[in-house]
Structure formats: C-alpha cells, structure tokens
Structure 1
Amino acid sequence: MKDKSFYFKGGKRAVLLFHAYSSTPNDVRMLGRALERENYTVYSPTFSGHGTHDLEDILEVSPKDWIEDAKKAFQFLREEGYQEVAAFGLSLGGIIATKLMLDENLLASGTFSSPAIHNDTTNVRKEFLDFMIAKKYKNGDSKEVIQQRLPELEEKLDKQLADIRKLVDEMAPQYGSVEKPVFIAQGGKDELINSHIAYELKEAFAKADVDFHWYENSPHSVTVGPDRKELEQDVLNFLTELQWNGG
C-alpha cells in the first residue's frame, strides 16, 4: 500500500502532524493543507505498522516505535533547516506529540481528541477489533480463519493498549512542569474516549499557556468533522501567536 506520509514544504515555520491509532496521515491531511496555504512547512509521517492492508501489522510494533518515528520526523525537519518546530496529533498522535514535547525542544505542542491523560472509559478496543476483522474479510480471510486467530489478536491488542496506558501514566506527572504553549482540542460527540478528560488534561498543564477548544458537534476525528474549518483557524491562530525566531 502507498505510504500516506506527506511533506508540504513552505516557509520557515515547521509543523509536525501525527495521525491516530489504526489510521494514517490522511486524517490530518486537510489540516496540513490549511497550514500549507498559510506558508507553513508541514510534515506528517506514517507510524510504524500503519498504512498497510492488514491492521494486524499495527500489533507487531509498540509505542516505543512510534516515539522513535516522531523523533526521526523531528530530526528530519531539523536536517531540512527548520530549527523551530511545533507538533500536534490526533488521538494516539496527540499522545506521541506530547511525549515529543517532553523529550525534545519543541516550540509548542497540541492534541486533538487525545487520551493523553489516564482514561479508562474507551471504545478503542472494540472499534479496533471490528475494523481489523472487517479488513480481514475484505482481504479474503474466511470466518473460520479469523475466529481461530482472534484470541491471539485480542491478546496482542490488549498488551498494546496496556502499553499505551503505561506510557500516558509515565508522562502525566511531568505535565505540571511544562511551561511551553499547549493547544488542546476536543470533540463534544467523541464516540471513542470520554471527551471530558480534555478538561483534566488542561488542568494538568498547570504552568503552561493552554489554548483550549471544545467543538460541540464534532466526533473523535475532529480534524475531519463538521467543525474542522473552525479547528484549522484555531490552530493557525495558535501558531501565529507563538514566538517564532526564524521568521
């Protein structure tokens, strides 16, 4: 399958966009184009295990691989000459963008409908399994083969989701010391996570200048929802207010 990564080369201000779990950079592409039109350089890599014909490939990697993907993307922009970078991400991508902000010298970071603080109320497991099974049927796997493999796949999925929760639990205590600008966006009709944890995330960044946005009519994928135009403008406003030294 064709790699969905994109690199829109524009001006001196660079932005990383990270996609969601079980998805590809397509879910942040429209936002990327909106930023490109305003002369931002935008890079969105495809996370390891993603963008293939079989969602099972995602279960063969770990959050450590996605963190490494993010750091490589950041380093790529540095090597391209961009010394100041902001990073945003949808859902899982928001967790990874936040982790990158904790580990690297980012100008700012942001999350879109992201469980970047501990959240037990989630439909991610069921959604992933349903999506993976549907893809396997589409790829020609029989019902018998799928049912036979399902216990193994569920075990791998549960371990991966536990690893993501562990990563978030390790990150959360560091939020209180963050002083760089943080953007938080949340869809009010989120069907995958408890939308109100966005408020907890905002409170956790006690020292940061948090730009918080609630989009009442948007689903989990707020970047492609009915409020996406408003989100795009809000992200642009946030970026405009940052203290860019490179022009």
Structure 2
Amino acid sequence: MIACLLIHGYTGGPYEIEPLSVFLKEETNWHIEVPTLPGHGRKLDLKNVSHKKWIKAAEDSLKALLTKYDEVYLVGFSMGGMIASYLAAKYKVDKLVLLASAGKYLSFKQIVIDIRQVCLDGLKGNIKKNKLYIHYKRKIGAVPFQANLEFLKLVRYTKPYLKDIDANVLIAQGQKDGMVPYKTAYYLDKEINSTKKEVVFFERSRHLICLGEDKDTLNQMVYNFLLKKTENP
C-alpha cells in the first residue's frame, strides 16, 4: 500500500494544494494525507507558534504513515517543501516532490510587477478581481512579526539537510513566482545530492503553483513522477 503526505506552505493551508491532492485521490487508491500545520488554515492563529511545532506536526504525520504503509511519498509546497526536504533526509521515503519550495524567498523583481498590476486594477476599479489582492488581503494584520521570524528560522534550520536527501526528486517552479525566485529551483538541484532529479519550470505560474493556470499540467506531471516507481519497482 502507498501513502502520500502533502505539506502546505507558510500562512496557508491544505486549500493551497487541494487541486493536486484531489487529483491524486481520484486517480489512485493511495492514502492521501494533508495535515494542517499549527496556527494555519483558513483562519490563521500564528501567535506563539514556533517553527519547531510546524516541523513536529508534519513529522508526526509521516511517522504514523511509515508504520502503516509500504511506500510513502512526500510533496511539499513553499515552506512545506523545506519541511518535506528535512523529513526526506531524516526518514526513508520513496519519492519527494518540491513545489515552489522556499529554499530562497522574495523575488523583488516579480513583486514590483505584481504590485504594479494590483495598483492598475485598483485604478480601473477591478481590484476585487485581482487574485493576488484577494489572496493576501486576508493575511494582512493576521500574521504576527514573530511568525515571520519563525519562518526564517525554519528555512535556516532545514537547508543543511538538503545534501542528505537520496530519494528521487521532482522540483517544480513557477517563473512568475514573487515569493520564491524561480532560480531557487537551480539552487535546490545543486544542493540535493540525489542521483535522480527532475527540474521543471512553468511559465505562467506564480507562487500558488497548484492553483495557477498550469495546475492541470502540474497535476499530471506529479502523478506521472510518483507513479514511475510503482510501475517499475
């Protein structure tokens, strides 16, 4: 039996990767698990929540799956990608998928482009149709400064473990990502020592790669990557 653990990003929740998790549920008989990290979800409550709690929550989920299933796959989005990398280095997992993984963060060039578009939509009276504005509006004021520091601590803590990963890895990155520079994919490819790695870029995708215009292609690509080993043990 196979299980797949999907880990969402910072200030997000399972909804960020829902199209992919639903697709995998529909196309396979695998056990699909998408935990909500402490303080995350539709209603954020990140006050006094440490990065260690985020890691532990994901780690507890993985440990439970490893006792029940023959094969376990890991999929991590953004901060969840760094958590998944840490877990893949520490435990025996069969496949690792990193989606816009936050090994580096903030593409200022893309942020400027995005802000300009938000401003233009505001001037035209179309601000309520701007997807970036809608997504990040609810987070303004809901994320304590300390939580951002915990995010930085998590990235710093997990980075050294990249070199210890030996599972097969798929790295997917949107070229219009304002939160994680697209060149981060090259950085991950260089740091991870796995012998089998694939790096894929999506021209139309922003940071929320699972919800973007390329989501159908991404879903199929992740599915094909994860399926390879089950077809060819």
Task: Please state which band the TM-score falls in when normalised by the shorter chain.
Answer: 0.7 to 0.9
**What is the aligned residue count?**
209
Answering whether residue 207 of structure 2 is matched by residue 216 of structure 1, we say no
Indicate conservation of the 8 Å contact 2:168/2:194, yes or no.
no
CA, structure 1 residues 36+131, in 2 after alignment: closer, same or farther (shift >3 Å)?
Answer: same
CA, structure 1 residues 207+78, in 2 after alignment: closer, same or farther (shift >3 Å)?
Answer: closer
CA, structure 1 residues 129+58, in 2 after alignment: closer, same or farther (shift >3 Å)?
Answer: farther
CA, structure 1 residues 207+165, in 2 after alignment: closer, same or farther (shift >3 Å)?
Answer: closer
CA shift, 1:223, in A, is: 0.5
Give the superposed CA RMSD: 2.7
Equivalent position of 1:7 in the other structure? none
CA shift, 1:130, in A, is: 5.7
* One-letter amino acid of the structure 2 residue matched with residue 162 of structure 1: L
Structure 2, unmatched stretches of 5+, are 112-131
Alpha-carbon distance between aligned partners in 1 of 2:216 and 2:147, rounded to the nearest angstrom:
34
2:56 alignment partner, SS class: helix
Answering whether residue 40 of structure 2 is matched by residue 33 of structure 1, we say no
Answering whether residue 98 of structure 2 is matched by residue 91 of structure 1, we say no
CA shift, 1:176, in A, is: 3.3
Alpha-carbon distance between aligned partners in 1 of 2:163 and 2:66, rounded to the nearest angstrom:
27
Equivalent position of 2:122 in the other structure? none
Matches within 5 A, 1:135-174: 153-154=144-145, 156-168=146-158, 171-172=159-160, 174=161
Alpha-carbon distance between aligned partners in 2 of 1:129 and 1:217, rounded to the nearest angstrom:
19
Matches within 5 A, 1:1-247: 12-39=1-28, 40-51=30-41, 53=43, 55=44, 57-79=45-67, 81-116=68-103, 118-119=104-105, 121=107, 131-133=138-140, 153-154=144-145, 156-168=146-158, 171-172=159-160, 174-242=161-229
What is the aligned-residue identity percentage?
A: 27
With structure 1 as the length reference, what TM-score do the two structures score?
A: 0.75
CA shift, 1:52, in A, is: 5.7
Alpha-carbon distance between aligned partners in 2 of 1:133 and 1:120, rounded to the nearest angstrom:
17
Q: After alignment, is 235-244 or 218-227 more displaced?
A: 235-244
Alpha-carbon distance between aligned partners in 2 of 1:21 and 1:129, rounded to the nearest angstrom:
12
Equivalent position of 2:123 in the other structure? none
Alpha-carbon distance between aligned partners in 1 of 2:208 and 2:196, rounded to the nearest angstrom:
24
2:181 alignment partner, SS class: coil
Indicate conservation of the 8 Å contact 1:25/1:44, yes or no.
yes
* One-letter amino acid of the structure 2 residue matched with residue 13 of structure 1: I
Indicate conservation of the 8 Å contact 1:13/1:244, yes or no.
no
Alpha-carbon distance between aligned partners in 1 of 2:231 and 2:59, rounded to the nearest angstrom:
21
Alpha-carbon distance between aligned partners in 1 of 2:3 and 2:181, rounded to the nearest angstrom:
31
With structure 2 as the length reference, what TM-score do the two structures score?
A: 0.79
Alpha-carbon distance between aligned partners in 2 of 1:95 and 1:59, rounded to the nearest angstrom:
21
Structure possessing the higher relative contact order (Cα contacts under 8 Å, 6 or more residues apart): 2
